[in-house]
Amino acid sequence: MTLFLLGVNHRTAALEHREALALSSVEVLGILERLARRGVLRESLVLSTCNRTEIYAVAAEITAAEHEVRQAVQQLRGRDLLEPGPHRYLRSGSAVASHLLRVACGLDSMVLGDVQILGQVKDAYALARQAGTAGVLLDRLLETALHAGKRARAETAIGAGHVSMSSSAVAAAANTVGLQGRRVLVVGAGETARLAARHAAEHDPAVIMIANRTVEHAEAVARDVRGQAMPLDRLIDALRAADVVFSATSAPGTIISGDMVRQAMATRPDRPLLVLDLAVPRDVDAAAADVAGVTLRTLDTIRAAVDHTLSTRSAEVPQVEAIVGEESERFGGWTRSLAATPTLVALREHFERIRNEELDRVLRHASDEERQRAERLTRVLVNRLLHVPMLRLKETDPASTDGQLRLQAARDLFALGVSLDGRRHDA
């Protein structure tokens, strides 16, 4: 049995291709159940996010495993989205473990150090366990990957700071004036505005107002954050009420003029206003910064904070790669010991059989107390004698020539009568 991975991600496939392969939780469970029912794969797991869809499996033969995975996806989507080509990648053996560990640590994300990917890996593992398709190898691999991801975040700054314009703008507002108990105005209802509203909602503001030209779109965002929707023609009223403004529309020109801000501030001279303009072209007239009590931050200042965060994260990459290396080696050591298990079990049984035969022969007429004493003594002796040989065999890589020779030597020396695949034969 060997590990197998077939997938696509943001580095290899276009957005349209990734969208076609994006799988819901229900679809993931359906594919896992189909793969389990077919019986070609011993274990399987699917990791599907907006930036990747990857199928991990344990199988005896790579070609058959690839065919089975492609057939499962084709049956679901109606076309072979994982056919050979530059849009996909196929890995096996130790390369699968290294890949998943890098994913869990945020090294393979579209945004370096992505803080969401660890939770997504955890969710994928939960679905595999729910479907009953995560066995011994995938259990250990996923536990190792999750441990590596937690280490990366605890021991390095790979996930520090904010790397989206929306989250960085909200963080800047929170650090400057605080958002808890504040009245927040979000102008726009597109992706950037929606994310700004969501991030702001996490800081427990008194209210979030969503102003947009199309009120229905504003209402959709407002429902998401339990806010209030309003049309753009009420913008001056909203500016009068707001403490913090995030503006992110797709308008071709400014929608918040200096005069609008001046009118709004005339009724609230003792309350400052922080305005963060996230739009290109700009939503807010530069003249707004000249109004007393108004602080205006543009996209350039916010982008500088994002660039600084990415620079900080990039500096952590070598340390995270070291963590990946350590955890990959630990997993590799475990898989090597697993592959040597038939020989280890046979060696232990061989010594136990001799121990029991000798106890029966020598202590035929001994008392129960003498028998128990001898049992304890001989068990300790066997454990001591086997300790180093068992360690050496666990360290063996059965896939290497040296590993094959070492395992074969152990079987020959002790006449174990067990082959590499674990099947017994007469010694």
User: Annotated active-site positions, please?
Assistant: 50
Paired with 41 in beta bridges are 59
Residue 260's CB: how many other CB atoms inside 10 A? 18
From CA 403, how far away is CA 247, in angstroms rounded?
64
Closest CA to 120 of 25, 214, 253, 208: 25
From CA 308, how far away is CA 304, in angstroms rounded?
6
Q: Tokens 């128990």 correspond to what residue?
A: 372
Closest CA to 65 of 93, 103, 86: 93
Tell me the C-alpha to C-alpha distance, in Å, between residue 297 and each of 118, 176, 223, 302: 33, 11, 27, 7
Q: Is 74 helix (H, G, I), strand (E, B) or coil?
A: helix
By the 8 A CB rule, do 258 and 284 touch?
no
By the 8 A CB rule, do 327 and 101 touch?
yes
